[in-house]
Chains A and B, each alone.
Chain A
Amino acid sequence: MPTLSKIFVGTSCFYLLAGAFLGVLISLSKVFPQFRFLFLIPVHLDFMIFGWFFNFIAGVSWWILPRLKEGTFRGNPIFPAITFILVNLGLMISLFSAFFRSAFLKSFSPHSLRFFSYLLFSSGIFIFVFQIFRRIKPPPIITNTKD
């Protein structure tokens, strides 16, 4: 398994745990009004969809999809590295944007910050899709030289 895939999968595990923990906080808030964590619902969604599903699927697809150049080369690792940085930066900004909604920081514009995190997600994902598309190809034709 290449290092880049290990980083993607390790990070996805972190987001799985963080997202599930936010889920516990949100369920407590749904039941007991003294817990006020419902504002974290968008972060819970982002952590699970982009942090867990996307990071995991990106890591595994970088590792397992057919390689370029007769099975030796996975492609330029700069592109998935940029994807990793953009998506995870977007996730961090998504987390911070949730806290900017609280009363003491209302002067910030939460929607624009949240929109910025989604711009980062989409640009990172576009780069990854552009890179991985070349690797989705039919298996090589194997000719039997003995015949």
Chain B
Amino acid sequence: MPYISRLFVKTAFIFLCLGVLLSCASFFLPNFFPVSIHAITLGWITNLIFGVAFWMFPRGKIKIQEKDKITFLSFILLNSGLLLRFISEPFLYFQVLKYIFVLSSFLQFLGCLFFVLHILRRIN
């Protein structure tokens, strides 16, 4: 299993734990509900899919490095976006955090974009 896949899969399971904790917290603090949903769908499932796809998808004639830069960038952007979302979305009444929240969604979008750029080469 390549290094970047291990990184994705381990992060996925950390987000799963975080997601269930936040789901419990959202019973008392409803502001945490959207964050808990994103922790599970993006943090767990999407990270897991990205990691396993990088590992198992056919490589064909493409030479893919152990630490592929595009995939690594996708990992950094997606997960930094998620972490920024965690610290900003439940507290949107602070002005500064509003901008961080918007930035976090941009980072997540870019993380997905870099993954798609990589994986489309692999399925062709």
B101 near A9 with CB under 8 A, answer: no
Interface range for B: 20 to 34
B5 to chain A, nearest CB (A): 15
A15-23, A88-96, A106-114, A125-133: which lies at the B interface? Answer: A15-23
A30 near B92 with CB under 8 A, answer: yes
Q: How many residues of A contact B (CB 8 A)?
A: 24
Contacts of B113 in A (CB 8 A): 17, 20
Answer yes or no: A31 CB below 8 A from chain B CBs: yes
- Known contacts A9-B119, A10-B123, A17-B113; is-contact A27 B101 (Cβ 8 Å): yes
Using an 8 Å CB-CB cutoff, how does the interface string of B82-110 with A read, 1 for contact, 0 for none? 00000000001000001101101110110
A17 near B116 with CB under 8 A, answer: yes
A28 near B49 with CB under 8 A, answer: no
- CB contacts between A and B, total, < 8 Å: 57
B92 near A6 with CB under 8 A, answer: no
Q: How far is the CA of A56 from the CA of B119 in the complex (A)?
A: 12
Contact among A10, A26, A31, A64 for B120, CB-based, below 8 A: A10
A31 near B112 with CB under 8 A, answer: no
A20 near B102 with CB under 8 A, answer: no
Residue of A nearest to B38 (CB): A23
Contact among A10, A23, A31 for B98, CB-based, below 8 A: A31
Query: 10 tightest CB-CB pairs across the interface, nearest first?
Result: A27-B105, A20-B109, A31-B98, A13-B116, A20-B112, A24-B105, A6-B123, A16-B112, A24-B109, A9-B123
Task: Please name 28 pairs of A and B residues whose Cβ atoms are closer than 8 Å in the assembled complex, sorted by A.
Answer: A1-B123, A6-B123, A9-B119, A9-B123, A10-B123, A13-B119, A13-B120, A16-B46, A16-B112, A16-B115, A16-B116, A17-B112, A17-B113, A17-B116, A20-B112, A23-B105, A23-B108, A24-B106, A27-B102, A30-B92, A30-B101, A31-B92, A31-B98, A48-B41, A52-B46, A53-B49, A56-B49, A60-B53
Not counting A26-B105, A48-B41, a sample of 16 additional A-B residue pairs whose C-beta atoms are within 8 angstroms of each other reads A9-B119, A13-B116, A16-B46, A16-B112, A16-B116, A20-B109, A20-B112, A23-B105, A24-B106, A27-B102, A27-B105, A49-B41, A53-B41, A53-B49, A56-B49, A60-B53
